[in-house]
Structure 1
Amino acid sequence: MKARLLTAAFLAFLPVAAYASCAGHDAEQASSCMSGYTWDPEAGACVEVVSS
């Protein structure tokens, strides 16, 4: 019973792991930038938001 449960949990987790890896999108991150910053896809990093 325990082996079946672990196998089912592992198989259920596979699509989540594949989605989180962002295959083909190496310059993108799954996490968000801290407050006051935004993601710049050209720089491939979080940059400070400048307000006028």
Structure 2
Amino acid sequence: MKFKTIACALALSLSPALAFAGCVGHEKQSQSCAPGSVWDAVSQSCVESASS
């Protein structure tokens, strides 16, 4: 009985750490701009698209 309690406590205490570790490296998000503008990687913002 004591072993099961310790095993459950250990599993529950490690759950948040494992969930956080699974999300490492996902800092980039897709950027959407308003119609008529495009994403400029240099300025890291939306700029008006040049019409040809």
Q: TM-score range by the shorter chain?
A: 0.3 to 0.5
TM-score (norm 2): 0.43
Which of structures 1 and 2 has the bigger CA Rg? 2
TM-score (norm 1): 0.43
